[in-house]
Structure 1
Amino acid sequence: MNFTPLKTLRRTALTLTASALIITPALAHDIYIWPSYFNINAEKPTHVAVDVTASHTAFRPDFAMASNGVKVTGVDGKALRRFGPYYQGQRRASFDLPVNEAGTYGLFYQREASYFTKYKIGKRDKDKHMRANKVEAAAKLPKGARDIETRSYATTAMSFVTNQAPTTEALAPTNQGFELIAITHPSDYVTNEALQVKALFNGEPVADQTIIIEQEGPQYRKNPEALEIKTNKEGIASFTLANGGRYLLKTNHEKVATNELADFDVTRIFYAFEVIFE
């Protein structure tokens, strides 16, 4: 799989989220939920520190996320009601994940849909935006507004922590809306081996879905590179990574809206994972 320069991929990302990048800091940033350890071998109950933040640079805290978006699933795939005190600072939020069993825990941050309307106005076709759904915008738009489009943006950030032996319950799809599923178990990500993820919409494969993968710390490399791939007709994207370290996978799915509140529904997914060097 060929790599594409990060500069090129940044232009691609801007195209995918052009409306969001202009509107609000929470949407302008990538969002990640990032455990301090992705794999541990603890025979006794322990904790794993988890950061929840948004950033322009993978794994560099910039904008803290609120606790009401956090969801943790246990090794049985069921939601954990308690996952420790939640600290929300200016740049990042954090909590300690209780790890009491062997298996794989799912970490998720979910933002419900936010609505944004863009339009053009004036002789110079100046772009304008407002935070409003289609119905709300209709009452606020200035006279002469044209090329009006409203999008809803929903966001999911996810990662996984495995203690001892991996399990798959936390990886299971809900078959509701747009999802990204890890086919290769996250605890088995190693360098130079084929890794696979799958894009689904309501349980059905999504073909030709663009996926971007960036390694942390591009500011520390002379020629930072990122990977851009697309899913096949089965919704599967396959890739190999030569460098060990932490990565952020991101993808945006857009479809025509099915209600009167928006013209298009956009789902953004951010998947943080670790690749072990072998």
Structure 2
Amino acid sequence: MKLAFRTAALILALAAASVHAHNVWLLPSSTVLSKGDWITVDAAVSNDLFFFNHNPLALDNLEVTAPDGSAIKAENVHKGKLRSVFDLNLAQPGTYRVAVLNGGVFARWKDKATGQQKRARGTPENIASQIPADAQEVEVTQSAGRIETFITVGKPSKLQPSGKGLELVATTHPTDLVKGEKASFILQIDGQPAKDLEVTVTPGNTRYRDKMDEISAKTDAKGQFSVTWPQAGMYWLEANTKDNKTSVTQAKERRLSYAATLEVMP
């Protein structure tokens, strides 16, 4: 697993200072429905994929997009000790995108008086006010992360990319995945191909395996990559990268992360 993605995503989700080898995910009770119905979605940060054993995932930046592009409200939202959970009433036919979008700005510097390292987390609007005027060796980094899953009611519909940050564009529809078949996807950064990007796909239930059984792929010049599914079940797809396309004057680097939960049918 890529430690960089997990650490960055967890900082964004929980504002934690330092964590190692944790997975950040959304897990729907169903990804395919024959007709409109309710589903439940679990959201957590865990040591093992899709197993609640660490912390709940914050849902402050949850966005649920209906097939027609409208936003729908999550209901019965609850944050427990080990997981968050919410319900969705999916009445409209087509494909829904359920995503937690996290962004932030992180600064570190050396205190002039004590020589100690200091850190702060904020927004593009307030990060400057948190850094002392006499701070030394200041480093500012901007982060943007997307954690998502997809649910289809009836026939799958086209998913519209946002054109912001690192995101998945479906060539093979993400709710039409079948064991033994090859699926193709595109990763984009701000609407442009994310080329030469490493992608890791991991089957769920890692708690009950001695090996992670990760599938590795790499995007081509068009941002495309393919995965052949060895078995049915839930999978976690992750990728991360960085560039210098920041929207914060003080930041010299932007860290981008992406994770998706996908279900593969028998």
Q: TM-score range by the shorter chain?
A: 0.7 to 0.9
For residues 21 and 46 of structure 1, the distance between their equivalents in structure 2, rounded to whole angstroms, comes to 31
Q: How many residues align?
A: 253
2:229 — aligned with what?
A: 241
- Whether 2:252 is the aligned partner of 1:260: answer no
* Cα distance change of structure 1 residues 74 and 27 upon mapping to structure 2, 3 Å threshold: farther
Partners of 1:135 and 1:260 within 8 A in 2: no
For structure 1, the 5+ residue unaligned runs are 1-9, 122-126
2:192 — aligned with what?
A: 204
Task: State the 1:209 CA deviation.
Answer: 1.1
For residues 161 and 18 of structure 1, the distance between their equivalents in structure 2, rounded to whole angstroms, comes to 27
Secondary structure, in 3 states, of the residue corresponding to 1:234?
A: coil
* Cα distance change of structure 1 residues 15 and 68 upon mapping to structure 2, 3 Å threshold: closer
For residues 227 and 154 of structure 1, the distance between their equivalents in structure 2, rounded to whole angstroms, comes to 24
Task: State the 1:27 CA deviation.
Answer: 7.7
Task: State the 1:74 CA deviation.
Answer: 1.1
- Whether 2:157 is the aligned partner of 1:167: answer yes
For residues 17 and 47 of structure 1, the distance between their equivalents in structure 2, rounded to whole angstroms, comes to 30
CA RMSD of aligned residues (A): 2.9
**CA displacement, residues 2-40 of structure 1 (integer Å, 9 cap, x when unaligned):** xxxxxxxx3xx1255667779953884432121111112
Partners of 2:10 and 2:45 within 8 A in 1: no
For structure 2, the 5+ residue unaligned runs are none
Partners of 1:14 and 1:21 within 8 A in 2: no
TM-score of the two chains, using structure 1 as the length reference? 0.79
- Whether 2:139 is the aligned partner of 1:149: answer yes
For residues 118 and 214 of structure 2, the distance between their equivalents in structure 1, rounded to whole angstroms, comes to 30
- Whether 2:222 is the aligned partner of 1:227: answer no
Partners of 1:116 and 1:129 within 8 A in 2: no
1:124 — aligned with what?
A: none
For residues 178 and 118 of structure 2, the distance between their equivalents in structure 1, rounded to whole angstroms, comes to 43
* Cα distance change of structure 1 residues 160 and 20 upon mapping to structure 2, 3 Å threshold: closer
TM-score of the two chains, using structure 2 as the length reference? 0.83
Percent identity between the aligned chains? 25
1:67 — aligned with what?
A: 59
For residues 221 and 18 of structure 2, the distance between their equivalents in structure 1, rounded to whole angstroms, comes to 29
